[in-house]
Amino acid sequence: MDPTQAGISIVVRVTASEVVGVEVLPPVVAALQAHHPDLVIELDLSNALEDLLRRDADIAVRMVVPTQDALVVRRLGVIALGLHAHRHYLDRHGMPTRTEDLAGHRVIGFDRETLAIRRMRMGAGSAAGALDRSRFAVRSDSDLAQLAAIRAGCGIGICQVPLAARDPRLVRVLDDAVDLPLETFLAMHENLRDNRRCRVVFDALAQGLMRHIAGRAPVEEGPAA
């Protein structure tokens, strides 16, 4: 057996948001398992905060500062959120140049307002009025459903800037008016600090997420076969 594959043969449970778990983590997991084929990764995708102290998960990707004690926490950086639309939608309906223009557009957003969403709206400045539930043409509490609606040309919605930048069909709109920071952290229980399997996964996730935040692919692509 390749020495890089030795000693990693057990399950690691990772919790992350829907978008991060579907759009960012899979290539990181694939690269990990290429080196450690016996490594099993469980992805628990939810915007709820799992309790690492109760060991609901081994490692958590979080978009809020972890407040629990007895955690190993690494701040990875800030993911910018902005308004985006499909090129085809903008071809049909025009590019908004002022936040007031959003009143004439179909906007994609949440169904039930949470504390995190209220805080986001508070940071949206003059665009906050357009991010009201009553104004949305498509409503969903699933970030993945909102992203799919943006990609399908349903309207204008909030998307991670580095994620949209990888898709030439998506265009950022009103970037001067709407630029919402999403701080990103990686955390695990301090008892797992010296656990080799968790450390390998923790370090790989940190590297992949920092590459994503910097606007690069989560893992380096190897040479073409």
Task: Say what percent of the chain tops pLDDT 90.
Answer: 60
Look at 48-57, 68-77, 137-146 and tell me which has the smallest mean pLDDT. Answer: 48-57
Q: Is the pLDDT of residue 183 over 50?
A: yes
More confident residue, 15 or 2: 15
Sign of CA dihedral 211, 213, 19, 97: negative
Using an 8 Å Cβ cutoff, are 14 and 58 in contact?
yes
Is the pLDDT at 20 greater than 90? The verdict is yes
Read off the pLDDT of residues 155-180 as tens digits, 9 standing for 90 and up: 999 999 999 999 999 999 998 878 88
Among 135, 132, 136, residue whose Cα is nearest residue 117: 132
pLDDT tens for residues 95-134? 999 988 999 999 999 998 776 777 676 666 666 666 788 8
Dig out the tokens for 152 from the structure.
């399908």
Residue 211: name the closest of 30, 91, 77 by CA.
Answer: 77
Q: How confident is the model at residue 49, as a pLDDT?
A: 64
More confident position, 5 or 54 = 54
User: CA–CA separation, 178 vs 189, rounded Å?
Assistant: 35
pLDDT exceeds 90 at position 69: no
- Which three-class secondary structure state does DSSP give residue 161? helix
